[in-house]
């Protein structure tokens, strides 16, 4: 026979299924999360629907002490909010104990990156004598030189690039524009591509996009991702390589060579410095490495 708390949980899940049509996986996750909460409260002689705000805080604190993942506890809080919101709507309770409860902040993980040597190998892999690979090399060089998002890269138009001034005008998230220096190596690769390969790719068609596909249209992000994977395999570089890997390598290597974090923020097009703060870990690791290598008591 179901306990009173478990029976309330099942009634709640039945309503979720009938009204929201949630999947079995989601319903089972809610069942597990709420049942574990009910067991925790039962050990303290508290029925689930009688739980107060401090009881729920104690439970989240217990999960933290037990080493539950922050992402898991965030999901639990979501389940609790829906459950106690349901009880409030049904007037089973008068106050929602989840008010003012906040989910634990998730640890921000650095995306994968490449060493400078790996980047050199990757950039050298495309054959500039091949039409498609000449285009790809220009794209890779430009991506590493500017740290563009892949959507910004594949969507570039001719009027956004000035080889004479050595800059690219990027239209980023929210329509915000920024100017990013291209650099000599990327400029040379881009000029070679524009002079020799681009017209061949277009096949007589007219288009503003800088890097057309083999059909003369704007390339998709997925196509470019597959092209990068291909060159990484040819260069013997293993791991999860994507366009964002080069964007991260751009930021990491700038910091390793002494660039200011705020400069990196502007180049990446981050609206807030807090978004760029994840790269401070890179700078600290580099400082520790330099100290270890060069300090007499390192």
CB–CB of 204/190 below 8 Å? Answer: no
Q: Which helix (H) or strand (E) holds 244?
A: helix 243-256
| Residues taking part in catalysis | 149, 173, 244, 247, 270, 279
Residue by residue, DSSP assigns 166-200 as TEEEEE-GGG-EEEEE--HHHHHHHHHHHHHTHHH
- Classify 147 in phi/psi space as left (phi over 0), alpha (psi -120 to 50) or beta: left
**Continuous H helices in the chain:** 4-20, 24-42, 53-65, 70-89, 116-124, 131-146, 150-154, 184-196, 198-202, 221-234, 243-256, 261-268, 273-276, 280-294
Max distance between CA atoms of the chain, in angstroms, equals 79
Q: Are the beta carbons of 289 and 282 closer than 8 angstroms?
A: no
């Amino acid at each position: 026979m179901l306990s009173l708390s478990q029976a309330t949980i099942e009634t709640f899940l039945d309503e979720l299924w009938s009204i929201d049509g949630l999947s079995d996986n989601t319903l089972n996750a809610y069942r597990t999360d709420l049942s574990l909460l009910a067991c925790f409260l039962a050990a303290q002689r508290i029925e689930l629907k009688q739980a107060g705000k401090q009881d729920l805080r104690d439970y989240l604190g217990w999960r933290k002490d037990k080493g539950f993942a922050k992402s898991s506890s965030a999901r639990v809080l979501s389940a609790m909010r829906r459950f106690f919101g349901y009880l409030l709507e049904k007037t089973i309770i008068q106050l929602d104990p989840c008010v003012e409860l906040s989910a634990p902040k998730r640890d921000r993980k650095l995306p994968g990156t490449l060493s400078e040597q790996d980047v050199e190998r990757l950039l050298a892999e495309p054959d500039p004598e091949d039409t498609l690979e000449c285009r790809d090399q220009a794209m890779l060089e430009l991506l590493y030189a500017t740290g563009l998002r892949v959507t910004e890269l594949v969507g570039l138009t001719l009027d956004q690039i000035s080889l004479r001034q050595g800059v690219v005008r990027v239209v980023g998230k929210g329509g915000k524009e920024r100017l990013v220096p291209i650099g000599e190596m990327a400029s040379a690769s881009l000029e070679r591509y524009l002079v020799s390969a681009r017209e061949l790719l277009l096949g007589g068609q007219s288009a503003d996009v800088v890097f057309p596909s083999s059909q003369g249209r704007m390339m998709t992000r997925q196509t470019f991702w597959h092209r990068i994977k291909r060159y990484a395999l040819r260069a013997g570089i293993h791991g999860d390589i994507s366009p964002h890997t080069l964007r991260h390598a751009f930021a990491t290597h700038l910091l390793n060579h002494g660039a200011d974090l705020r400069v990196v923020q502007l180049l990446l097009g981050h609206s807030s410095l807090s978004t760029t703060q994840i790269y401070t870990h890179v700078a600290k690791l580099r400082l520790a490495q330099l100290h270890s290598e060069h300090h007499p008591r390192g």
